Each structure stands twice: as C-alpha cells, then as structure tokens.
Amino acid sequence: MGLRKKIVLAAALCGLAWGQAGLTTIQDTLFKADGSRFNGTLTIHWVTFDSSNNGTIVQQSKSVSVVNGNLLVQLVPNATAPPPANVYTVTYQSDGREQFTETWNVPSSALPLKVASVRTGTVVVTGGTNAGAAGNQTPITESTIIGLTADLAQRPIKGVGYGTSRVAMVNDAGQIETVVGDVGDCVFADGTTGQCGQATFADAETPAGTVDGTNNTLALANVPLGSSLMLFRNGLYLTPGFDYTLSGSTVQFVAGATPQAGDRLTASYRVDTSQAGNIGGLSGPGLRTATTQVLCSAAGTATSATTLTTLGTCDIPAAGLQPGDRIEVRFTFAHTGTTSGMNLQLNWGGTTVMSRNASTQDSAVTGHAEAGITTGGTQVSVESWGTVLPLIPGIVNAPAATGGITVSLKAAMAQLSSDSVALTNYAVLRYPAN
C-alpha cells in the first residue's frame, strides 16, 4: 500500500474515532502560573446517568495524561442530566500529588471545547495554601434549593447572652442564651438559677387550729418532707399512725387523742425547698420561708490600677428578687501602702449606690447596703466608713430588676504608686418575704 493511501486511511480512522456521535471533545493547552506547560494526569469521575445518544452511563472514572500541556479527551454530554450527575469531578495530579479539583459541566458540541467552557468551579483538595482559580462559577442562592429557607427558619439562633460550657435556655424571643449562675446552682424552669433544693427546718411551730377538746384537725404551715414530722403535746411525743395521721399539711387526730383545751402542741419537721421557684424558699401560696440565705460570700481580688477595677461580683437571679424581699451587701476593703489614696464603688446593676474617696491614712474601709425590693423598683440604703473616713449614709432609688441583677464592688488607686487595694471580704444575703 502506498504512503499516500496509508495517510488517507489513518486520517479516516481518526475521523471515525474522534467524530463518534454523542461525544463532546475537550481540547486545550494547560499552563502553570509561571508560564510553563502543565505535565501530569487528570482523573475524571462521574456518577451514573442517562444520555439520550449513549444510553446509560455507569459510574466510573478515567485517567487522561497531559504531556507538554496538551489535553485531549472526549466525554458524554451531561449538561442536561439531573444533579449530581450533571458534573464531572476532575482531579489534577502533578509532581507526585493531587493539586486541586474542579467540576465540569459538558454540553453537546460538534466543535472541540476549551476547559474554561466546561469548568464550573475549583476547590483545594490537599494541603495547599491557595484555592486555585475560581473559573466560571455560578453562585447557588438559598432560595433556589427546595425547602432550605424553610428548614433554616426552624433552627433557633444565638441570643446576645449565648455562651459555651454552660446550660442553655431559650429566651422570650426563641433565641438560645446561656444560663447565668454559680457552679453547683440549680436551674429552674424559667431559666433562672439558685440554690438547689435542700431541707429547711421548721422548729417549734404551733399548728393552726382551735384546741378546745372538740376540734381534731390542725394545719401545719408547710408540707413536711417524708416522715420528718415530730409532733409533741405538752412535751410528750405523739406517735404517727397511733395518735394522728398526716395528709399533706393537715394533722388529723384519732378518736381519744383529740387535743384538750389548754394543751400546748408543737411541731418540728423538714421542708423540701426543691418544690420552689424561689432560691432557697417555697413559692406556693403561703409557702415562703423566712430563713436568711447567703447568696454570695467570698474574698475578692486586689488592684494597683488607677482605673476602677471589679474586685468582686454577685449575680442574683430574678427569682431571688421578689417584691418584699430584702438584699443585704456587706463589704470590707483593705489598703496596703501610704503613698496613694483609693477610690471605692458599690454598684447595684447599672446604678452606683456608693462612691467614696479614701485617703492615704485609710488602711481599711467597710460598709453595708440594704436593697428593698418593691413591685416598681428598688430602694437601696447604704452606709460606709473607714479608718479616718467619716461615716456617710445614703439612700438611692434603682430600677426594678426584672431579669436579675449583678452586685459589683470596684476599686482604684487615686494615683500611680506601689500601693494596692483589696476586697478582703464581701457577702450578699437575702431575706425572703413571708
């Protein structure tokens, strides 16, 4: 066969191979960023899809070598296939590692296409520092994805009080916030915190009711915890089940054991405060304990700064600020050195209730404040004095603390020196309303 015939035959066979019906040719010259030609391998992955000209294309992959930048590959068009089959995933390997990955969306074309005509986006797949060219990317909006906007709307979002490593609560706006409280506090159903339920003792209580030899039913102020009730008549212990029965807070005496006129009855028992919504107390009708509660008691920190610095705080939840409650704050500051005076401050939330300027001769300053909780606000009375600092009383009105309050004690040195001021001790007490 002559040379001319061989060339014609080879050209015809190539034409048949590269002109196969239903395939799109991607032909391009690839370069590196420094202008040199790319050498490597392209691995092309696809998932199963149906093609009108080529039938079912099963999931598979193929590798294409690129020598001196020359890329030539034929693929079945997938532009009209449903996602995710409408993209080819193409990984570029060179210099012994994967460089990056991009996706191709291949339309039907009788003419060869450049890579830029089929590229839909690029991402880094290995530990490179650059993400590669974005190519002809088409952003996908949330609204174009069926159901995404509605699903996102169902998710709770962070509130301004959101934090980590704490118990979460949902605020009135449906946002997630962090419960504020001390380690060891209990969280109540309304998101407030306080002392966990502990037994409160009722000692030497006189049951309510007429003692006349006829009435055999008396009432206790609270419901005793378990079998803790000890009932005495004229100092003699009465046996439960034999002398009386207990139902809730009602004492029912049996026949023959009815208290007589002049008898003295006393009851001692424990009350389960975990039934309450108020810290350390009962919140049901008539079930509030008047026991003093220590909300905070600690030694504070020290400072030598000339700007006011918080040396101690106490967070009081809303459940501990009921109308009729009284909060007492006691504090002691100590001054080290004789070079500078010091500035002291006591704050009830955002209201400054005490601000004193002590001299260099004041080695200590102490005082206390009492906050009376009302339905419309808070009235705080305060007294403070020092080693030479005179006693000064005062009364300040503060807004209602509907969401809880933070008591803070601050201090600063009057001038830059080696002196320091320390909050040696502070305590916050609560006297619940009866």
Instruction: Give 186-209 pLDDT, tens digit per residue.
Output: 787 777 776 665 557 777 889 999
CATH 2.60.40.3390 in the chain is located at 20-155
Instruction: Give 135-145 pLDDT, tens digit per residue.
Output: 444 566 677 67
Rounded-to-integer distance, Cα 60 and Cα 48, Å: 8
Instruction: Give 6-23 pLDDT, tens digit per residue.
Output: 544 544 444 444 445 589
Among 245, 264, 194, 250, which Cα is nearest to 222's?
Answer: 250
To the question of pTM greater than 0.75 for the whole model, the response is: no
- The amino acid present at 249, given as its one-letter code, is S
Among 320, 313, 312, 357, which Cα is nearest to 335's?
Answer: 357
* Contact (Cβ atoms closer than 8 angstroms) between residue 369 and residue 354: yes
Residues recorded for the chain: 434
Place of tokens 């590959």: 73
pLDDT above 60 for 227: yes
Rounded mean pLDDT of the chain?
82
Rounded-to-integer distance, Cα 128 and Cα 150, Å: 37
CATH 2.60.120 in the chain is located at 293-431
Q: Residues of the chain with pLDDT > 90: what percent?
A: 48
Class of domain 293-431: mainly beta
SS3 assignment, position 6: helix
CB-side exposure of 42: number of CA atoms within 13 Å? 23
Rounded-to-integer distance, Cα 355 and Cα 351, Å: 11
Query: Fold for domain 20-155?
Result: Immunoglobulin-like (2.60.40)
CB neighbourhood size of 245 (10 A): 12
